[in-house]
Each structure stands twice: as structure tokens, then as C-alpha cells.
Amino acid sequence: MKKLLILGASGSIGTQTLDVIITYKLYDLVAITVGNRFDIVDEIIAKFPTVKYVTIKEKNVADKYQEKYPNLQFYSGNEGLLKIIEDSKADVVVNALTGFAGLLPSIKSLELNKILCLANKESLVVGGEFIKKLLKEGKGKLYPIDSEHVAIAKCLYNKNINDVDKILITASGGPFFDLDKNEFKNIKVEDALKHPNWSMGKKITIDSSTMMNKAFEIVEAYYLFDVPPNKIFPLVDRKSHVHSLVKFNNGEYRLQVGPSDMRIPIYYALTFGKCDNNDKFDDVEINTFDNYEFKEMNYEKFPLINYGKFIIEKKGNMGAIINAANEECVYEFLNFNINYVDIKNIIDKIVDVYPYIKNPTLDEIIKTDHEVRNLVHELI
């Protein structure tokens, strides 16, 4: 059996990945990483005796676990996220970290020729050019875990990318799609955390409400499928039944429909896109999916979505600027330090003032991330 490492095993995607590998007996889980929710480590070690390597964010916590489990190897911090990729000798890495923290582990996994199952879309937003270069050089392999991108990959099955007229990435529209824009200033944290159809980590849930998540998914599609940005569009499906669509040059559409269950795209990535199997997910009656109703994206209400194509057009450190500003704003909003509408205002301001670098080194991307976060705090 192939060996698996899960980065971010305590999160929403991480725990669902654990569920998939235990249900379908897919891998030997050899290594995991967690952040602050380290309570889950005992449970995972008990359930998966093959785990031999663990990274925990805080050093003092990792040290305590090392004493408790002397036969396992514990690491900590950002270095621990990289060291475990090398030492565990995993064949496959699931990157289910949130935010910029996922970038270097994605790069390291590919450099070491691993198969990378990528939920951490921020890796492509901030470092898409670096990842593209590694893949072009034949380093590693990449499979997406995002439901929309797995849907697109399924629609492209046996098709040529040159035959694609449009990729339509579906969006639920989030909790505020029907809310008057004048009411946005009154949005509370608990309102923004109510995603209509998916249960996810807090950061992506807020990004889904502002449409920054959809902006990032446009960038993700650009890098994953090598299609020009003028062929990628968002489309609203309020019920999240259609996970995305592809329109081909001959007028044919393909769309992928199914329950809002992340275990399906996780399974797809973990089996490297092989759909010819009998493993079954929940049975859903066909009439659950009737009455498709697509709506246009409202760009005026959700202007952050425009940053998707902007990041692709500018490249350089623009993805890092926008991602860092967004991450900090989302965390400050979740901590009740700024209002919902400030998220957009602060990001716009940072994009205006922070120096753009056309051909940054990886160190400059890291520096950008660091400086933009500080700048957000100065502005607040």
C-alpha cells in the first residue's frame, strides 16, 4: 500500500481524508500534521497504528507528545511541516493546510517528486508560477481536492483542452447573495459563518461569503487546466448541486452533479482521478437534483471576485499581496476587530500601496506575505 502524509489532519478536509482512507482502505497513513487542535493526535495514533511521524505547531506541545510516544518522531513549527515530508518518505501528500502556510509544503512535496493532493488553493494563488515550473520539469504530480476543480477534471475526461470554449465554476452565492448591498455593513461574524450548503473551515467559509474563494478558484483553474482567463467564468447555483460545467467548442456542455460531500473530490484525488471503481458514497435520488437554476454572478455586490483574473493578469507577487491581505482581514474579522465591509476596503488599499514585483523570487514572495500582514495591522 502507498504511504500517505496528511498536512492539516485536524481540519475539515484533513478529518474527511481520514474518513475516506479508513472507509475505502486506501493507504498506510504514516504521517500527520496538526496546528492548535492537537487533542486529535491521540485519537489518530490509536486509529492508525501506521503513523510514525507527527508535526504539531507549538514546540512545547510537540515535546510533551514526544515524551508520551517515544517510538514516534515529533516535529514542530513551519520547519516541521517541511521536515516531515522528507523524513516520512510518504508517496502521497494531502495538503489540507489553510492559507499561505501551505505554499512551502506544496513546493517541497513536488521537489521531492511526491504526488500532491492539493486542497490548499492558496498555494496556487501565491505560488502558481513556481508550482507550474516544477510540474513542467517533471517534478511530482498534482491532483486537486477542490470540488469545483474535480468536477471540471471529470468533465474534461477524454476531451482535449483545446476543445474547451468555457469553464464555468459554480458558486453557491454564499449567505449574502440575496442581501441588499446597503446591509453589508451590518453583517456579523455568525451570519458570515453560515454557508448555505457546505460545512467547512472558518477561513474558507468567510472567503465563500465575500467571493474571494471564487476569485482564488479562478486562479486555481488557470494553473490546473492551463486555460486562458478569458475562458473561465463563475456561475451561481444556489443549491450547490452542480459542482462546475465545461462548455466545448461544438456547443456541448458537460456538468458534474452530486451531493455537497467533500469526500467525493478527496476520493478522486487519492485515487489519482480513477473513477472506474465500485466504492459507493451516499445514495441520492435523482429528483434531489431537479430544477437547475443558474444565476449570473453579481460583480457589483461581490467585487472581490475580480481579483481572480487580476492575479492571473499581474502574476508576480500580486497573489501573495492579495492573499496575505485577505488572510489577515478574515482573521481580524473573525476576531471582531474589523467590520465585514473593511475586508474589501483594506485589501483594496493594500493592493494600491504595496510594491508590485513582476518576477519575484520565492524569498520575495515570503517577504511580501510577511510585510503585507504587518501593513494590514498598521492600517487597522
Ligand X SMILES: NC(=O)c1ccc[n+]([C@@H]2O[C@H](COP(=O)([O-])OP(=O)(O)OC[C@H]3O[C@@H](n4cnc5c(N)ncnc54)[C@H](OP(=O)(O)O)[C@@H]3O)[C@@H](O)[C@H]2O)c1
How far apart are CB 369 and ligand X at their closest, in Å? Answer: 12
User: Which amino acid, residue 236?
Assistant: V
Chain residue at closest Cβ approach to ligand X:
11
How far apart are CB 125 and ligand X at their closest, in Å? Answer: 9
Asked if 117 and 269 touch (Cβ cutoff 8 Å), the reply is yes
Asked if 266 and 13 touch (Cβ cutoff 8 Å), the reply is yes
How far apart are CB 185 and ligand X at their closest, in Å? Answer: 26
How far apart are CB 366 and ligand X at their closest, in Å? Answer: 13
Q: Which residue has the cell 523570487?
A: 361
How far apart are CB 352 and ligand X at their closest, in Å? Answer: 26
Q: Where are the alpha helices (DSSP H) in 262-361?
A: 263-270, 306-314, 318-334, 340-353
- Please list the residues that pair with 257 across neighbouring strands: 242
Sign of CA dihedral 320, 322, 324, 330: negative
Q: 35 or 140: whose CB is closer to ligand X?
A: 35
Q: 8 or 308: whose CB is closer to ligand X?
A: 8
Q: 247 or 326: whose CB is closer to ligand X?
A: 326
User: Which amino acid, residue 327?
Assistant: E
Q: 247 or 305: whose CB is closer to ligand X?
A: 305
Q: 187 or 215: whose CB is closer to ligand X?
A: 215
How far apart are CB 78 and ligand X at their closest, in Å? Answer: 7
Q: Where are the alpha helices (DSSP H) in the chain?
A: 12-24, 40-47, 59-68, 77-87, 103-111, 122-136, 147-155, 189-192, 202-210, 212-225, 263-270, 306-314, 318-334, 340-353, 362-379
Q: 247 or 265: whose CB is closer to ligand X?
A: 265
Which residues in this chain contact ligand X in the complex, by CB under 6 A? 8, 10-14, 33-37, 57, 96-98, 101, 119-122, 146, 198, 200-201, 203-204, 262
The CA distance from 176 to 58, in Å, is 37
